[in-house]
Amino acid sequence: MAKKIIIGNWKMNPASLKEAILLVSSIKKGKAADKNEIVLCPPSVYLSDVVKILSSGKHGIKIGAQDCFYEEKGAFTGEVSPIMFKTVGAKYVIIGHSERRALGETNESINKKIKLSFKKGIKVILCVGESERDETGQYFRFIETQIKSALLGINKSYFKDLIIAYEPIWAIGKNAQKSCDPKDIKEMSLFIKKVLAEISSREIGLKATVIYGGSVDVKNATQIVSEGEVDGLLIGRASLDAKKFLGIINSVSSI
């Protein structure tokens, strides 16, 4: 099986640095060496400490930020730039998560954040996803618009550093009834690759990294990756429990 990427988005968790250190230490201890890429995205305030814990050993775990700002530095109270994340060891940044979009993030600011992150050498995990599915398939147009506006004016040479995370909002978080059906994930993944091919080239579209997020757990992870034919997973809740997260990593490794 080709290399997969499994990303843990801790969101605004855990509540203390002590717990964050415990969580990353347990994941590091339990992670067997394999070819898959594991990325942890802790709250930015814990980032340096998490990097420190991961600085030894052959675990291959990388670090990402959960968001960034679109300016390098300056008078932007409360914001953190991609270059700052890079200097403390982050290799990835999540941009356009639905929870940030719900707080007012626009396609325009997402586009600016992606541009700066690429320019500064940070890989981008762009989240897209519809809030509901309609009978006529309008949600495909919605995803197309999210992708095209997020990548507007971005040089195609950066697309190798892009991961698109398909995260249907209705399948995310504790209020979700279930994850998306693997056959629908496969259909959307192909659609996303087609959209990328349209704005770049057939080759880039075919090679694009598309992952899935939304109510992934130990029970459904392998089915989603194999039947959904995705390049990896973005995990929310289950990434906060070392046993569950390691269980997902190990089950994907065994495919």
Q: Which of residues 114-173 bind ligand PEP (CB under 6 A)?
A: 167, 172-173
Answer yes or no: are the C-beta atoms of 207 and 3 closer than 8 Å.
Answer: no
Residue 228 makes contact with ligand PEP by CB under 6 A: no
Contact between 234 and ligand PEP per CB under 6 A: yes
Among the listed residues 37, 99, 130, 167, the single catalytic one is 167
Considering only 8, 82, 182, 236, the residue that binds ligand PEP (CB under 6 A) is: 236
63 lines the binding site for ligand PEP (CB under 6 A): no
CB nearer to ligand PEP: give 53 or 127.
Answer: 127
Q: Please list, in sequence order, all residues whose beta carbon lies within 8 angstroms of the beta carbon of residue 41, skipping any fewer than 6 positions away.
A: 7, 8, 9, 10, 63, 64, 65, 66, 92, 94
Can you tell me the distance from the alpha carbon of 39 to that of 56, in angstroms, rounded to the nearest whole number? Answer: 16
The verdict on whether 229 is a catalytic residue reads no
Q: Environment class of residue 43 by beta-carbon count within 10 Å: exposed (0-12), middle (13-18) or buried (19+)?
A: middle
Residue 73 sits at φ, ψ, to 5 deg, of -165, 170
Interface with ligand PEP includes 230 (CB under 6 A)? no
- The stretch among 55-63, 64-72, 197-205, 229-237 that binds ligand PEP (CB under 6 A) is 229-237
Q: Does 237 bind ligand PEP (CB under 6 A)?
A: yes
- Which pair of tokens denotes residue 202? 């057939």
How many residues touch ligand PEP (CB under 6 A)? 14
Clarify whether 167 is annotated catalytic.
Answer: yes
Is there binding between residue 235 and ligand PEP (CB under 6 A)?
yes
Cα-based distances in Å from 157 to 91, 118, 162, 200, 220: 18, 10, 10, 9, 34
Judged by the rule CB under 6 A, the positions of this chain that interact with ligand PEP are 9, 167, 172-173, 176, 213-216, 234-238
> Residues with catalytic annotation?
97, 167
